[in-house]
Structure 1
Protein backbone atom coordinates (compact mmCIF):
# COMPACT_ATOMS: atom_id res chain seq x y z
CA UNK A 1 0.00 0.00 0.00
CA UNK A 2 2.93 2.35 -0.47
CA UNK A 3 2.34 3.53 -4.03
CA UNK A 4 1.64 7.26 -4.21
CA UNK A 5 -1.77 7.06 -5.91
CA UNK A 6 -3.21 5.31 -2.87
CA UNK A 7 -2.75 8.36 -0.64
CA UNK A 8 -4.43 11.77 -0.56
CA UNK A 9 -2.60 14.85 0.67
CA UNK A 10 -4.36 16.69 3.49
CA UNK A 11 -4.38 20.49 3.75
CA UNK A 12 -1.78 20.37 6.55
CA UNK A 13 0.77 18.42 4.48
CA UNK A 14 0.14 14.96 5.96
CA UNK A 15 -1.06 12.08 3.76
CA UNK A 16 -4.07 9.82 4.39
CA UNK A 17 -4.42 6.38 2.74
CA UNK A 18 -7.41 6.36 0.38
CA UNK A 19 -8.78 3.08 1.75
CA UNK A 20 -9.31 2.65 5.47
CA UNK A 21 -10.34 -0.25 7.69
CA UNK A 22 -13.35 0.54 9.89
CA UNK A 23 -13.40 -0.99 13.37
CA UNK A 24 -16.94 -0.23 14.57
CA UNK A 25 -18.73 -3.44 15.55
CA UNK A 26 -22.14 -4.57 16.75
CA UNK A 27 -22.51 -4.75 20.54
CA UNK A 28 -23.13 -8.50 20.55
CA UNK A 29 -19.85 -9.24 18.75
CA UNK A 30 -17.02 -10.02 21.22
CA UNK A 31 -14.25 -7.40 21.33
CA UNK A 32 -11.63 -10.06 20.62
CA UNK A 33 -13.05 -10.30 17.08
CA UNK A 34 -11.92 -6.72 16.50
CA UNK A 35 -8.33 -7.58 17.44
CA UNK A 36 -8.42 -10.56 15.09
CA UNK A 37 -9.97 -8.59 12.20
CA UNK A 38 -7.56 -5.66 12.61
CA UNK A 39 -4.56 -8.01 12.50
CA UNK A 40 -5.94 -9.63 9.33
CA UNK A 41 -6.49 -6.17 7.81
CA UNK A 42 -2.91 -5.03 8.51
CA UNK A 43 -1.52 -8.29 7.13
CA UNK A 44 -3.66 -7.79 4.01
CA UNK A 45 -2.14 -4.32 3.49
CA UNK A 46 -4.48 -1.81 5.19
CA UNK A 47 -2.45 0.97 6.79
CA UNK A 48 -5.37 3.30 7.60
CA UNK A 49 -7.29 2.19 10.70
CA UNK A 50 -10.40 4.12 11.71
CA UNK A 51 -11.67 3.89 15.30
CA UNK A 52 -13.27 6.08 17.99
CA UNK A 53 -13.53 6.43 21.75
CA UNK A 54 -17.24 5.52 21.66
CA UNK A 55 -16.65 2.24 19.76
CA UNK A 56 -15.14 0.87 23.00
CA UNK A 57 -12.56 -1.24 21.15
CA UNK A 58 -9.50 1.02 21.18
CA UNK A 59 -7.64 -1.35 23.53
CA UNK A 60 -8.30 -4.26 21.15
CA UNK A 61 -7.33 -2.26 18.05
CA UNK A 62 -4.19 -0.95 19.77
CA UNK A 63 -3.25 -4.52 20.72
CA UNK A 64 -3.61 -5.67 17.10
CA UNK A 65 -1.46 -2.82 15.79
CA UNK A 66 1.23 -3.40 18.43
CA UNK A 67 1.33 -7.12 17.61
CA UNK A 68 1.88 -6.31 13.93
CA UNK A 69 4.61 -3.83 14.86
CA UNK A 70 6.33 -6.40 17.11
CA UNK A 71 6.26 -9.10 14.42
CA UNK A 72 7.73 -6.69 11.87
CA UNK A 73 4.70 -6.44 9.54
CA UNK A 74 4.54 -2.63 9.96
CA UNK A 75 6.18 0.22 11.83
CA UNK A 76 4.11 2.72 13.84
CA UNK A 77 4.77 5.40 11.20
CA UNK A 78 3.27 3.11 8.52
CA UNK A 79 -0.08 3.15 10.30
CA UNK A 80 -2.51 6.06 9.88
CA UNK A 81 -4.72 5.83 12.97
CA UNK A 82 -7.91 7.88 13.40
CA UNK A 83 -9.74 8.38 16.70
CA UNK A 84 -12.74 10.58 17.52
CA UNK A 85 -13.82 12.83 20.38
CA UNK A 86 -17.17 11.67 21.78
CA UNK A 87 -19.99 14.07 22.70
CA UNK A 88 -19.60 13.69 26.48
CA UNK A 89 -16.16 15.35 26.27
CA UNK A 90 -17.07 18.51 24.36
CA UNK A 91 -16.31 20.93 27.22
CA UNK A 92 -12.95 22.43 26.21
CA UNK A 93 -11.20 21.29 29.38
CA UNK A 94 -12.21 17.65 28.69
CA UNK A 95 -11.11 17.39 25.04
CA UNK A 96 -7.44 16.64 25.60
CA UNK A 97 -8.20 14.25 28.46
CA UNK A 98 -10.45 12.19 26.14
CA UNK A 99 -7.64 11.96 23.60
CA UNK A 100 -5.13 11.07 26.32
CA UNK A 101 -7.49 8.34 27.52
CA UNK A 102 -7.59 6.90 24.00
CA UNK A 103 -3.78 7.07 23.76
CA UNK A 104 -3.42 5.16 27.04
CA UNK A 105 -5.75 2.42 25.77
CA UNK A 106 -3.80 2.23 22.51
CA UNK A 107 -0.35 2.55 24.13
CA UNK A 108 0.44 5.23 21.50
CA UNK A 109 2.19 8.61 21.82
CA UNK A 110 -0.04 10.22 19.19
CA UNK A 111 -2.90 9.60 16.75
CA UNK A 112 -2.57 10.55 13.10
CA UNK A 113 -6.04 12.09 12.89
CA UNK A 114 -8.41 13.23 15.62
CA UNK A 115 -12.01 14.02 14.67
CA UNK A 116 -14.89 15.72 16.43
CA UNK A 117 -17.44 12.88 16.23
CA UNK A 118 -20.47 15.20 16.09
CA UNK A 119 -20.69 18.97 15.43
CA UNK A 120 -19.14 21.12 18.18
CA UNK A 121 -16.26 23.55 18.94
CA UNK A 122 -12.83 23.29 17.28
CA UNK A 123 -10.66 25.41 19.60
CA UNK A 124 -9.73 22.70 22.11
CA UNK A 125 -8.93 20.35 19.21
CA UNK A 126 -6.25 22.78 18.04
CA UNK A 127 -4.55 22.42 21.43
CA UNK A 128 -4.32 18.64 20.90
CA UNK A 129 -2.44 19.27 17.65
CA UNK A 130 -0.19 21.85 19.34
CA UNK A 131 0.61 19.32 22.08
CA UNK A 132 1.69 16.75 19.46
CA UNK A 133 -1.01 14.30 20.53
CA UNK A 134 -2.71 14.48 17.12
CA UNK A 135 -0.89 15.06 13.84
CA UNK A 136 -4.04 16.24 12.05
CA UNK A 137 -7.48 17.33 13.22
CA UNK A 138 -10.80 17.11 11.45
CA UNK A 139 -14.53 16.71 11.90
CA UNK A 140 -17.25 14.11 11.40
CA UNK A 141 -20.96 14.45 10.55
CA UNK A 142 -20.69 18.21 9.87
CA UNK A 143 -22.96 19.81 7.27
CA UNK A 144 -21.92 22.71 5.02
CA UNK A 145 -23.22 25.41 7.37
CA UNK A 146 -21.36 23.92 10.34
CA UNK A 147 -18.15 23.64 8.30
CA UNK A 148 -18.50 27.28 7.23
CA UNK A 149 -18.95 28.35 10.86
CA UNK A 150 -15.58 26.73 11.67
CA UNK A 151 -13.83 28.06 8.56
CA UNK A 152 -15.06 31.62 9.23
CA UNK A 153 -14.17 31.54 12.92
CA UNK A 154 -11.84 34.41 13.85
CA UNK A 155 -8.46 33.12 15.00
CA UNK A 156 -8.81 29.65 13.41
CA UNK A 157 -5.29 28.26 13.18
CA UNK A 158 -5.85 24.81 11.69
CA UNK A 159 -8.74 24.19 9.38
CA UNK A 160 -10.17 20.67 9.50
CA UNK A 161 -8.32 18.32 7.14
CA UNK A 162 -11.37 16.13 6.54
CA UNK A 163 -15.07 15.62 7.19
CA UNK A 164 -16.09 11.99 7.80
CA UNK A 165 -19.73 11.42 6.84
CA UNK A 166 -22.13 8.69 5.78
CA UNK A 167 -21.61 8.37 2.04
CA UNK A 168 -22.68 5.61 -0.37
CA UNK A 169 -24.46 5.16 -3.68
CA UNK A 170 -27.87 5.88 -2.07
CA UNK A 171 -26.54 9.06 -0.46
CA UNK A 172 -23.58 10.20 -2.54
CA UNK A 173 -23.17 13.60 -0.82
CA UNK A 174 -22.45 15.28 -4.19
CA UNK A 175 -23.04 18.85 -2.94
CA UNK A 176 -21.14 18.37 0.30
CA UNK A 177 -18.29 16.69 -1.60
CA UNK A 178 -18.07 19.63 -4.04
CA UNK A 179 -18.07 22.09 -1.15
CA UNK A 180 -15.36 20.16 0.74
CA UNK A 181 -13.20 19.98 -2.40
CA UNK A 182 -13.55 23.74 -2.87
CA UNK A 183 -12.20 24.26 0.66
CA UNK A 184 -9.41 21.63 0.37
CA UNK A 185 -11.13 19.38 2.91
CA UNK A 186 -11.09 15.63 2.20
CA UNK A 187 -14.42 13.81 2.41
CA UNK A 188 -14.08 10.45 4.21
CA UNK A 189 -16.96 8.00 3.63
CA UNK A 190 -18.31 5.70 6.31
CA UNK A 191 -21.20 3.32 5.63
CA UNK A 192 -20.05 2.97 2.01
CA UNK A 193 -21.36 -0.61 1.95
CA UNK A 194 -24.60 0.17 3.83
CA UNK A 195 -25.11 -0.15 7.57
CA UNK A 196 -28.47 -1.92 7.80
CA UNK A 197 -27.14 -4.59 10.18
CA UNK A 198 -26.86 -2.07 13.05
CA UNK A 199 -30.27 -2.58 14.69
CA UNK A 200 -29.77 0.05 17.43
CA UNK A 201 -29.43 2.97 15.00
CA UNK A 202 -30.83 1.81 11.68
CA UNK A 203 -34.39 0.97 10.63
CA UNK A 204 -34.32 -2.80 9.85
CA UNK A 205 -36.66 -2.20 6.89
CA UNK A 206 -33.96 -0.08 5.18
CA UNK A 207 -32.91 -1.29 1.72
CA UNK A 208 -29.90 -3.63 1.64
CA UNK A 209 -27.42 -1.56 -0.36
CA UNK A 210 -25.29 -4.44 -1.63
CA UNK A 211 -28.40 -6.13 -3.06
CA UNK A 212 -28.95 -3.23 -5.47
CA UNK A 213 -29.38 -4.62 -9.02
CA UNK A 214 -27.18 -1.93 -10.59
CA UNK A 215 -24.30 -2.85 -8.26
CA UNK A 216 -24.98 -6.50 -9.13
CA UNK A 217 -24.88 -5.87 -12.88
CA UNK A 218 -21.62 -3.87 -12.66
CA UNK A 219 -20.13 -6.54 -10.38
CA UNK A 220 -20.79 -9.17 -13.09
CA UNK A 221 -19.41 -6.87 -15.79
CA UNK A 222 -16.12 -6.31 -13.92
CA UNK A 223 -16.01 -9.80 -12.35
CA UNK A 224 -15.91 -8.22 -8.86
CA UNK A 225 -18.22 -8.17 -5.84
CA UNK A 226 -20.91 -5.50 -5.37
CA UNK A 227 -18.91 -4.28 -2.34
CA UNK A 228 -15.84 -3.62 -4.51
CA UNK A 229 -17.97 -1.69 -7.02
CA UNK A 230 -19.39 0.46 -4.17
CA UNK A 231 -15.89 1.14 -2.77
CA UNK A 232 -14.31 1.83 -6.18
CA UNK A 233 -17.07 4.36 -6.94
CA UNK A 234 -15.97 6.43 -3.95
CA UNK A 235 -12.26 6.32 -4.81
CA UNK A 236 -12.90 7.56 -8.35
CA UNK A 237 -14.85 10.53 -6.95
CA UNK A 238 -11.83 11.56 -4.84
CA UNK A 239 -13.36 10.29 -1.60
CA UNK A 240 -11.34 8.45 1.07
CA UNK A 241 -13.40 5.37 1.88
CA UNK A 242 -13.66 3.10 4.94
CA UNK A 243 -14.37 -0.61 4.46
CA UNK A 244 -15.67 -2.48 7.47
CA UNK A 245 -15.86 -6.23 7.99
CA UNK A 246 -14.94 -8.89 10.53
CA UNK A 247 -14.74 -11.62 7.85
CA UNK A 248 -11.26 -12.50 6.64
CA UNK A 249 -12.44 -13.16 3.06
CA UNK A 250 -14.17 -9.75 2.83
CA UNK A 251 -11.25 -7.88 4.43
CA UNK A 252 -8.85 -9.40 1.87
CA UNK A 253 -11.28 -8.87 -1.01
CA UNK A 254 -11.99 -5.20 -0.24
CA UNK A 255 -8.32 -4.21 -0.56
CA UNK A 256 -8.46 -5.32 -4.22
CA UNK A 257 -10.31 -2.07 -4.91
CA UNK A 258 -7.14 -0.66 -6.52
CA UNK A 259 -6.94 -3.48 -9.09
CA UNK A 260 -9.62 -2.26 -11.52
CA UNK A 261 -11.35 0.85 -12.85
CA UNK A 262 -14.96 1.82 -13.48
CA UNK A 263 -15.79 3.50 -16.81
CA UNK A 264 -17.33 6.97 -17.10
CA UNK A 265 -20.62 5.26 -18.04
CA UNK A 266 -20.43 3.08 -14.91
CA UNK A 267 -19.89 6.18 -12.76
CA UNK A 268 -22.89 7.96 -14.31
CA UNK A 269 -25.04 4.87 -13.70
CA UNK A 270 -23.93 4.74 -10.06
CA UNK A 271 -24.53 8.49 -9.63
CA UNK A 272 -28.10 7.75 -10.74
CA UNK A 273 -28.67 5.54 -7.68
CA UNK A 274 -28.56 8.55 -5.35
CA UNK A 275 -31.79 9.06 -3.39
CA UNK A 276 -30.45 11.12 -0.44
CA UNK A 277 -31.19 8.16 1.81
CA UNK A 278 -29.45 7.99 5.18
CA UNK A 279 -29.14 4.79 7.19
CA UNK A 280 -27.88 6.66 10.24
CA UNK A 281 -30.14 9.48 11.42
CA UNK A 282 -28.91 9.81 15.06
CA UNK A 283 -32.52 10.41 16.14
CA UNK A 284 -31.50 11.03 19.76
CA UNK A 285 -29.97 14.33 18.53
CA UNK A 286 -32.89 15.55 16.40
CA UNK A 287 -33.89 18.35 18.80
CA UNK A 288 -30.31 19.47 19.44
CA UNK A 289 -29.45 22.90 17.93
CA UNK A 290 -26.38 21.34 16.30
CA UNK A 291 -28.28 18.42 14.71
CA UNK A 292 -26.44 18.13 11.38
CA UNK A 293 -29.00 16.44 9.15
CA UNK A 294 -31.79 19.03 9.09
CA UNK A 295 -30.02 21.03 6.36
CA UNK A 296 -30.03 19.89 2.72
CA UNK A 297 -26.29 19.10 2.97
Structure 2
Protein backbone atom coordinates (compact mmCIF):
# COMPACT_ATOMS: atom_id res chain seq x y z
CA UNK A 1 0.00 0.00 0.00
CA UNK A 2 1.38 3.40 -0.97
CA UNK A 3 2.43 5.84 1.74
CA UNK A 4 -0.12 8.46 0.63
CA UNK A 5 -2.93 5.88 0.92
CA UNK A 6 -1.78 4.75 4.35
CA UNK A 7 -1.55 8.36 5.51
CA UNK A 8 -5.07 9.06 4.24
CA UNK A 9 -6.45 5.99 6.01
CA UNK A 10 -4.66 6.98 9.22
CA UNK A 11 -6.14 10.49 9.13
CA UNK A 12 -9.62 9.06 8.47
CA UNK A 13 -9.23 6.65 11.39
CA UNK A 14 -8.17 9.51 13.67
CA UNK A 15 -11.10 11.71 12.61
CA UNK A 16 -13.71 8.95 12.65
CA UNK A 17 -14.50 9.10 16.42
CA UNK A 18 -15.04 12.86 16.19
CA UNK A 19 -17.27 12.48 13.13
CA UNK A 20 -19.34 9.77 14.86
CA UNK A 21 -19.65 11.94 17.98
CA UNK A 22 -20.88 14.96 15.96
CA UNK A 23 -23.37 12.80 14.05
CA UNK A 24 -24.75 11.14 17.18
CA UNK A 25 -24.79 14.14 19.52
CA UNK A 26 -25.40 16.99 17.07
CA UNK A 27 -26.78 16.00 13.68
CA UNK A 28 -29.07 13.15 14.72
CA UNK A 29 -30.98 15.06 17.48
CA UNK A 30 -31.32 18.05 15.16
CA UNK A 31 -32.69 15.86 12.38
CA UNK A 32 -35.11 14.25 14.82
CA UNK A 33 -36.27 17.67 15.99
CA UNK A 34 -36.94 18.77 12.42
CA UNK A 35 -38.78 15.51 11.74
CA UNK A 36 -40.99 15.76 14.86
CA UNK A 37 -41.80 19.42 14.16
CA UNK A 38 -43.64 18.35 11.00
CA UNK A 39 -46.01 16.09 12.95
CA UNK A 40 -48.79 16.48 15.47
CA UNK A 41 -46.95 14.28 17.97
CA UNK A 42 -47.96 14.13 21.63
CA UNK A 43 -46.61 11.54 24.06
CA UNK A 44 -50.01 11.31 25.76
CA UNK A 45 -51.52 9.95 22.53
CA UNK A 46 -48.57 8.61 20.49
CA UNK A 47 -50.75 6.40 18.28
CA UNK A 48 -52.70 9.39 16.97
CA UNK A 49 -49.65 11.04 15.40
CA UNK A 50 -50.24 12.64 12.01
CA UNK A 51 -48.26 14.67 9.50
CA UNK A 52 -49.15 18.40 9.61
CA UNK A 53 -46.30 19.93 7.60
CA UNK A 54 -45.56 23.52 8.64
CA UNK A 55 -48.68 23.85 10.76
CA UNK A 56 -46.71 23.87 14.02
CA UNK A 57 -44.58 26.76 12.76
CA UNK A 58 -47.63 28.70 11.66
CA UNK A 59 -49.17 28.17 15.10
CA UNK A 60 -46.15 29.76 16.74
CA UNK A 61 -46.89 32.99 14.87
CA UNK A 62 -50.64 32.87 15.43
CA UNK A 63 -50.78 31.66 19.04
CA UNK A 64 -50.83 34.54 21.53
CA UNK A 65 -48.67 32.77 24.12
CA UNK A 66 -46.01 31.89 21.55
CA UNK A 67 -45.99 35.40 20.10
CA UNK A 68 -45.60 36.84 23.59
CA UNK A 69 -42.69 34.46 24.25
CA UNK A 70 -41.02 35.64 21.03
CA UNK A 71 -41.55 39.31 21.96
CA UNK A 72 -40.27 38.74 25.50
CA UNK A 73 -37.17 37.00 24.15
CA UNK A 74 -36.48 39.85 21.73
CA UNK A 75 -36.99 42.52 24.42
CA UNK A 76 -34.79 40.64 26.87
CA UNK A 77 -32.03 40.20 24.30
CA UNK A 78 -32.02 43.81 23.10
CA UNK A 79 -32.23 45.26 26.62
CA UNK A 80 -29.59 43.01 28.16
CA UNK A 81 -27.08 43.28 25.32
CA UNK A 82 -27.48 47.07 25.05
CA UNK A 83 -26.75 47.75 28.72
CA UNK A 84 -23.97 45.16 28.83
CA UNK A 85 -22.21 46.80 25.88
CA UNK A 86 -22.57 50.32 27.25
CA UNK A 87 -21.51 49.46 30.80
CA UNK A 88 -18.83 47.06 29.56
CA UNK A 89 -17.27 49.75 27.36
CA UNK A 90 -17.30 52.28 30.21
CA UNK A 91 -15.64 49.79 32.56
CA UNK A 92 -13.11 48.80 29.89
CA UNK A 93 -12.11 52.45 29.43
CA UNK A 94 -11.81 52.85 33.21
CA UNK A 95 -9.57 49.76 33.45
CA UNK A 96 -7.51 50.55 30.33
CA UNK A 97 -4.49 51.69 32.33
CA UNK A 98 -2.36 48.68 33.19
CA UNK A 99 -1.61 49.04 36.90
CA UNK A 100 -1.97 46.85 39.99
CA UNK A 101 -5.23 48.45 41.15
CA UNK A 102 -6.96 47.89 37.81
CA UNK A 103 -5.78 44.28 37.66
CA UNK A 104 -7.22 43.63 41.12
CA UNK A 105 -10.51 45.31 40.19
CA UNK A 106 -10.72 43.30 36.95
CA UNK A 107 -10.22 40.04 38.85
CA UNK A 108 -12.97 40.99 41.33
CA UNK A 109 -15.56 42.06 38.77
CA UNK A 110 -15.11 38.77 36.89
CA UNK A 111 -16.51 36.83 39.86
CA UNK A 112 -20.16 36.94 38.59
CA UNK A 113 -19.08 35.25 35.33
CA UNK A 114 -17.84 32.22 37.28
CA UNK A 115 -21.31 31.59 38.75
CA UNK A 116 -23.78 29.55 36.69
CA UNK A 117 -26.94 31.40 35.55
CA UNK A 118 -29.14 29.02 37.53
CA UNK A 119 -27.35 29.85 40.77
CA UNK A 120 -27.39 33.57 39.93
CA UNK A 121 -31.16 33.33 39.46
CA UNK A 122 -31.57 31.64 42.84
CA UNK A 123 -29.38 34.29 44.51
CA UNK A 124 -31.43 37.17 43.15
CA UNK A 125 -34.68 35.37 43.85
CA UNK A 126 -33.62 35.25 47.49
CA UNK A 127 -32.35 38.83 47.57
CA UNK A 128 -35.47 40.29 45.93
CA UNK A 129 -38.08 38.22 47.77
CA UNK A 130 -40.61 40.60 49.35
CA UNK A 131 -41.04 38.61 52.58
CA UNK A 132 -37.45 37.72 53.52
CA UNK A 133 -35.10 39.17 50.89
CA UNK A 134 -32.34 41.52 52.05
CA UNK A 135 -33.29 43.94 49.26
CA UNK A 136 -36.81 42.99 48.25
CA UNK A 137 -38.21 43.22 51.78
CA UNK A 138 -37.27 46.89 52.19
CA UNK A 139 -38.34 47.79 48.66
CA UNK A 140 -41.79 46.33 49.38
CA UNK A 141 -42.01 47.95 52.82
CA UNK A 142 -41.15 51.36 51.41
CA UNK A 143 -43.76 50.95 48.67
CA UNK A 144 -41.22 51.05 45.86
CA UNK A 145 -42.28 47.68 44.41
CA UNK A 146 -45.28 45.38 44.26
CA UNK A 147 -46.04 43.88 47.71
CA UNK A 148 -45.37 40.45 46.20
CA UNK A 149 -41.94 41.48 44.94
CA UNK A 150 -40.30 42.51 41.67
CA UNK A 151 -40.57 39.07 40.09
CA UNK A 152 -44.33 39.05 40.70
CA UNK A 153 -44.89 42.45 39.07
CA UNK A 154 -45.98 42.13 35.44
CA UNK A 155 -44.46 45.54 34.63
CA UNK A 156 -41.10 44.99 36.33
CA UNK A 157 -40.43 41.24 36.11
CA UNK A 158 -38.79 41.28 32.67
CA UNK A 159 -36.76 44.41 33.50
CA UNK A 160 -35.57 42.71 36.70
CA UNK A 161 -34.43 39.67 34.71
CA UNK A 162 -32.56 41.99 32.35
CA UNK A 163 -30.85 43.56 35.38
CA UNK A 164 -29.83 40.10 36.64
CA UNK A 165 -28.36 39.22 33.24
CA UNK A 166 -26.53 42.55 33.03
CA UNK A 167 -25.05 41.99 36.51
CA UNK A 168 -23.73 38.58 35.52
CA UNK A 169 -22.42 39.14 31.99
CA UNK A 170 -21.23 42.76 31.87
CA UNK A 171 -17.82 41.66 33.25
CA UNK A 172 -17.38 39.28 30.29
CA UNK A 173 -18.14 42.07 27.83
CA UNK A 174 -15.72 44.30 29.75
CA UNK A 175 -12.98 41.68 29.41
CA UNK A 176 -13.51 41.34 25.64
CA UNK A 177 -13.55 45.11 25.07
CA UNK A 178 -10.57 45.61 27.36
CA UNK A 179 -8.60 43.11 25.29
CA UNK A 180 -9.53 45.11 22.20
CA UNK A 181 -8.41 48.35 23.83
CA UNK A 182 -5.05 46.90 24.86
CA UNK A 183 -4.50 45.68 21.29
CA UNK A 184 -4.78 49.21 19.87
CA UNK A 185 -1.53 50.56 18.39
CA UNK A 186 -0.06 52.99 20.91
CA UNK A 187 1.86 55.01 18.31
CA UNK A 188 -1.37 56.18 16.66
CA UNK A 189 -2.77 57.39 19.98
CA UNK A 190 0.52 59.10 20.84
CA UNK A 191 0.58 60.81 17.44
CA UNK A 192 -2.98 62.01 17.97
CA UNK A 193 -2.02 63.44 21.37
CA UNK A 194 0.95 65.25 19.86
CA UNK A 195 -1.35 66.72 17.21
CA UNK A 196 -3.54 68.12 19.99
CA UNK A 197 -6.48 65.74 19.75
CA UNK A 198 -8.72 65.72 22.83
CA UNK A 199 -9.72 62.53 24.61
CA UNK A 200 -13.18 62.64 23.06
CA UNK A 201 -11.75 63.12 19.57
CA UNK A 202 -9.37 60.18 20.02
CA UNK A 203 -12.26 58.06 21.24
CA UNK A 204 -14.49 58.99 18.29
CA UNK A 205 -11.94 59.01 15.46
CA UNK A 206 -9.43 56.34 16.51
CA UNK A 207 -10.61 54.10 19.35
CA UNK A 208 -14.16 53.32 18.25
CA UNK A 209 -13.35 52.48 14.58
CA UNK A 210 -10.43 50.24 15.57
CA UNK A 211 -12.48 48.66 18.36
CA UNK A 212 -15.33 47.68 16.05
CA UNK A 213 -14.25 44.01 15.60
CA UNK A 214 -14.03 43.53 19.39
CA UNK A 215 -17.39 45.24 19.89
CA UNK A 216 -19.02 43.03 17.28
CA UNK A 217 -17.46 39.92 18.84
CA UNK A 218 -18.91 40.81 22.25
CA UNK A 219 -22.20 41.63 20.55
CA UNK A 220 -22.52 38.28 18.80
CA UNK A 221 -21.51 36.25 21.86
CA UNK A 222 -23.97 37.97 24.16
CA UNK A 223 -26.81 38.19 21.63
CA UNK A 224 -26.71 34.47 20.86
CA UNK A 225 -26.48 33.57 24.54
CA UNK A 226 -29.19 36.02 25.67
CA UNK A 227 -31.63 34.90 22.97
CA UNK A 228 -31.62 31.35 24.34
CA UNK A 229 -32.00 32.41 27.99
CA UNK A 230 -33.61 29.73 30.14
CA UNK A 231 -31.94 29.03 33.49
CA UNK A 232 -32.42 32.34 35.27
CA UNK A 233 -36.00 32.71 34.04
CA UNK A 234 -36.92 29.16 35.05
CA UNK A 235 -35.74 29.47 38.66
CA UNK A 236 -37.00 33.02 39.29
CA UNK A 237 -40.36 33.50 37.58
CA UNK A 238 -41.06 30.30 35.67
CA UNK A 239 -42.32 32.51 32.83
CA UNK A 240 -44.76 34.40 35.04
CA UNK A 241 -46.53 36.37 36.24
CA UNK A 242 -48.88 35.31 33.48
CA UNK A 243 -46.68 35.24 30.39
CA UNK A 244 -44.76 38.42 31.25
CA UNK A 245 -41.36 36.67 31.28
CA UNK A 246 -42.08 33.60 29.17
CA UNK A 247 -39.24 33.09 26.65
CA UNK A 248 -38.94 30.84 23.61
CA UNK A 249 -36.66 28.29 25.26
CA UNK A 250 -38.81 28.15 28.39
CA UNK A 251 -41.95 27.87 26.25
CA UNK A 252 -40.41 24.96 24.32
CA UNK A 253 -39.51 23.15 27.55
CA UNK A 254 -43.02 23.65 28.92
CA UNK A 255 -44.61 22.32 25.75
CA UNK A 256 -42.31 19.32 25.64
CA UNK A 257 -41.94 18.30 29.30
CA UNK A 258 -45.20 19.57 30.84
CA UNK A 259 -47.72 19.10 28.04
CA UNK A 260 -45.71 16.40 26.20
CA UNK A 261 -46.42 18.16 22.89
CA UNK A 262 -43.19 17.05 21.22
CA UNK A 263 -44.08 18.26 17.73
CA UNK A 264 -44.89 21.81 18.81
CA UNK A 265 -41.92 21.98 21.21
CA UNK A 266 -39.60 20.87 18.40
CA UNK A 267 -40.97 23.60 16.13
CA UNK A 268 -40.32 26.26 18.79
CA UNK A 269 -36.78 24.98 19.36
CA UNK A 270 -36.08 24.88 15.61
CA UNK A 271 -37.38 28.42 15.15
CA UNK A 272 -35.14 29.61 17.99
CA UNK A 273 -32.16 27.85 16.42
CA UNK A 274 -32.96 29.39 13.01
CA UNK A 275 -33.14 32.92 14.45
CA UNK A 276 -29.85 32.41 16.29
CA UNK A 277 -28.22 31.09 13.10
CA UNK A 278 -29.38 34.16 11.16
CA UNK A 279 -28.11 36.52 13.87
CA UNK A 280 -24.77 34.72 14.05
CA UNK A 281 -24.37 34.81 10.26
CA UNK A 282 -25.15 38.52 10.01
CA UNK A 283 -22.74 39.37 12.82
CA UNK A 284 -20.00 37.11 11.41
CA UNK A 285 -20.18 38.83 8.03
CA UNK A 286 -20.17 42.23 9.76
CA UNK A 287 -17.13 41.27 11.86
CA UNK A 288 -15.18 40.24 8.75
CA UNK A 289 -16.08 43.49 7.01
CA UNK A 290 -15.15 45.56 10.07
CA UNK A 291 -11.86 43.71 10.47
CA UNK A 292 -10.91 44.26 6.84
CA UNK A 293 -11.84 47.91 7.05
CA UNK A 294 -9.88 48.40 10.30
CA UNK A 295 -6.79 46.81 8.76
CA UNK A 296 -7.14 48.65 5.47
CA UNK A 297 -7.81 45.55 3.35
The answer to whether the superposition gives a TM-score over 0.5 is no
| TM-score normalised by L of structure 2 | 0.22
| TM-score normalised by L of structure 1 | 0.22
Q: Which has the larger radius of gyration?
A: 2
Greater helix proportion: 2
Greater strand proportion: 1
